[in-house]
Amino acid sequence: MSVAKASAPGKLILFGEHFVVYGMPAIATAVEGRTSAEVRRADRYSLVDDRPETPGYKREKGGQQAESIKLMFKAMGLDASKASIALGGDLVAASGVGASGASCAAIAAAANAEFGLGLSREEINDVAYEGEKGYHGTPSGIDNSCSTWGGFIWFKKGDSGGKSEIRPMESKGRFSIVVGNTGITSNTTKVVEDVKAQMERDRAKFDRIFEEYLRMSGEARTALDGNDLHGIGRLMNENHALLREIGVSCKELEEMVEASIGAGALGAKLTGTGRGGLMIALVTDDTKAKVASAIKGTGFKSEITGIGAEGVKVIR
């Protein structure tokens, strides 16, 4: 019996979560942790999800996951009731690490191989984007793009349903990041809605914040392309301050950001949705162990990861 298997990396947003929803550029990178998907032709639908997880994540997202798979199979012109899917890999399914984007890209690539559809990488990304709609009402597309293309991605969402600009970046930076995990699964749709409601109440404040972010995102791109670690770190701190101002940080994230800086990180910020989820700290070989243990000292889990990893690939 045939079975196809593909894997795709998770992602971390380095710059621009939330701002990306309003058409501003964001920069994300693929991480070392990967989700694998096996897809096999079958008489009836089945799903086995063996991904490691932040406790409660898979139960919370179960309904959205079923919807996501349905949407992807529809986009590929396939019948999901004739497929058996098994998910695994070492990417811990948690808010902020692009777990849904990684699983969508891996499922799309494995289904493409199993059913011999001949889709290009760009088309696999389009299918994975359809899958992301099952998780977030209006995804920006940055997660699935990162999981599909790998490396560093400069991303700008298309205007009112138009195509997004997705540019793989030059940066070959192989620096390390420490990821701190609040253990809280945040609800992206709700946090995005809250930000929007706030913006509608105070346009002037948001205009100023958006302007500052736009300047910062241009500088971040230059710093990344030039491998300017100190510049990247400083800009991460500035980006975090803006995210705090739009109300998406929380006590747990603030504690970890502060501990990281205190332990010598070049910069630290929340990553992804916020109000739970993850934070990241930029570290050197000399500081990574110290920063990871400072985060643990605040009572949360931390992990060191390389970034700029390879995009989706078929394993067999």
Binding site for ligand PMV (CB under 6 A): 13, 17-18, 20-21, 95-96, 98, 136, 139-140, 142-143, 188, 192, 272-273, 277
Task: Give the residue with the Cβ less far from ligand PMV, 83 or 209.
Answer: 209
Give the residue nearest to ligand PMV (CB). 272
> Residue 76 or 192: which CB sits closer to ligand PMV?
192
Handedness of CA 99, 184, 50, 46 (dihedral sign): negative
> How many C-beta atoms lie closer than 10 Å to residue 227's C-beta?
14
The minimum distance between CB 220 and ligand PMV, in angstroms, equals 15
Q: How far is CA 151 from each of CA 173, 267, 310, rounded to the nearest angstrom?
A: 9, 20, 6
Nearer to ligand PMV, 151 or 274 (CB): 274
For the CB of residue 28, give the shortest distance to ligand PMV in the complex, in Å.
Answer: 8
Sign of CA dihedral 61, 62, 63, 69: positive
C-beta of 68 vs 188, nearer to ligand PMV: 188
Query: Residue 19 carries which DSSP code?
Result: G
For residue 261, what are the contacts with CB-CB under 8 A and spacing of at least 6? 237, 267, 268, 281
Q: Could you confirm whether 143 is annotated as catalytic?
A: yes
Structure tokens at 11: 């992602």
Helix locations, 17-160, DSSP H: 57-75, 99-114, 121-135, 142-149
Least Å distance, CB 288 to ligand PMV, is 22
Q: Which is nearer to ligand PMV, 112 or 239 (CB)?
A: 239
CB of 285 to ligand PMV, least distance (A): 27
Q: Give the bridge partners for 296, in sequence order.
A: none
Phi-psi region of 286 (alpha: psi -120 to 50; beta: other; left: phi over 0): alpha
Q: Which residue spans within the chain are E strands per DSSP?
A: 4-15, 26-41, 46-49, 83-89, 152-156, 165-168, 176-181, 267-271, 278-283, 301-306, 313-314
Q: 25, 155 in Cβ contact below 8 A?
A: yes
137 or 226: CB nearest ligand PMV: 137
Q: How many CA atoms lie within 13 A of 207 on its CB side?
A: 4
Closest approach, Cβ 17 to ligand PMV, in A, equals: 4
Partners of 15 in beta bridges = 27
Distance of closest approach, residue 13 Cβ to ligand PMV, in angstroms = 6
In this structure, are strands 313-314 and 267-271 parallel, antiparallel, or unpaired? unpaired
Q: Are 178 and 292 in contact (CB under 8 A)?
A: yes
Catalytic, out of 79, 90, 143, 159: 143
Which residues are catalytic, by number?
143
